Amino acid sequence: MTFGYFSHNGHIRPASEATVPLASIEYSYGFGVYETIRVSDGEVRFLTEHCARLQASADAIRLEHSFTPDDIAQYITDLVTANEVEICNIKVLLIGGKTAADASLYIVCLAPFFVPRKLYKTGCHCTTYEYERMYPHAKTLNMLPSYLAYRDALVSGGYDALLINRRGEVTEGTRSNFFTLSAKNIFSPPASDILPGVTRDHVLKLARELGFDVTHQPIPLKTIPSYEAAFITSTSAKILPIHSVNDTVLPDPPEALKNLMRAFNQTY
């Protein structure tokens, strides 16, 4: 799947004109933030929330720029229209500069990532990796440790790596949010320790509407076997059950989790 156009600072350009700013020290040092957004049936999902989080990430690392969330939302919509796309992922890259006027905004369409369907029934395998992100609330380009953790997970046959803090607690995946479940009680790591995902927020909102109790608390890695289930959420995966963490095998997804998954798929 290829796309003919990308967006640079709000201007639609042919993909053949895309360049990498190698002379930019800000680019080389990863002084930037990003978002990944899902497009399905020609609709950009959770657009307002993603643009707001991009701004929050920029604020967290003091990246000054001249693009408003409304501007960015319009640029994304324009690019989807130009590429005549029905399904894809949108990558939004905001690279800082020496001044706000020097910041650059890149928006590209990427081929969507599809989770193997069988994993929604069987659950996925996750490994663990000891790492605490420096700015947990910001979706920054400083992704090397997360990339290494994710790469190790793939080599081990896993879907993602769960990050473990210095207290031995699971915080989040390298590209997902983490939860445990018992009966109709959902547990999520404290928001202060993680990047609160847009999909995560919608899952928790829907869960409350369905009668689940939601508790935000630390989840030590050693306590995972005491829960009925664990799952992750992300833009691409939506809600994905976890079958195993390292050598610990979890029970099959309970009916409560299946009901939440069905409701989320029907709603979003």
Q: Where are the domains of the chain?
A: 5-110, 117-267
pLDDT for 24: 86
**Mean model confidence pLDDT for the chain:** 96
Q: Which fold does the domain 5-110 belong to in CATH?
A: D-amino Acid Aminotransferase; Chain A, domain 1 (3.30.470)
Say if pTM beats, i.e. exceeds, 0.85. yes
Q: Which fold would CATH assign to domain 117-267?
A: D-amino Acid Aminotransferase; Chain A, domain 2 (3.20.10)
- Is residue 20 scored above 90 in pLDDT? no
The mean per-residue pLDDT over the stretch 105-111 comes to 97
Look at residue 23 in the predicted model and tell me its pLDDT. 83
Q: Give 1's pLDDT tier (boundaries 50, 70, 90).
A: confident
Q: Region 41-65: what's the mean pLDDT?
A: 97
- Per residue, the 3-state secondary structure of 60-111, as one string, reads HCCCCCCCCHHHHHHHHHHHHHHHCCCCEEEEEEEECCCCHHHCEEEEEEEC
Q: Which residues, 6 or more positions from 187, have their beta carbon under 8 angstroms from its beta carbon?
A: 179, 180, 181, 214, 215, 216, 217, 219, 227
111-156 pLDDT tens trace: 998 999 999 999 999 999 999 999 999 999 999 999 999 999 999 9
Distance spanning both ends of the chain, measured CA to CA: 24
**165-181 residue pLDDT tens:** 999 999 999 999 999 99
Residue 145 · residue 131 · CB < 8 Å:
yes
What pLDDT is attached to residue 186? 99
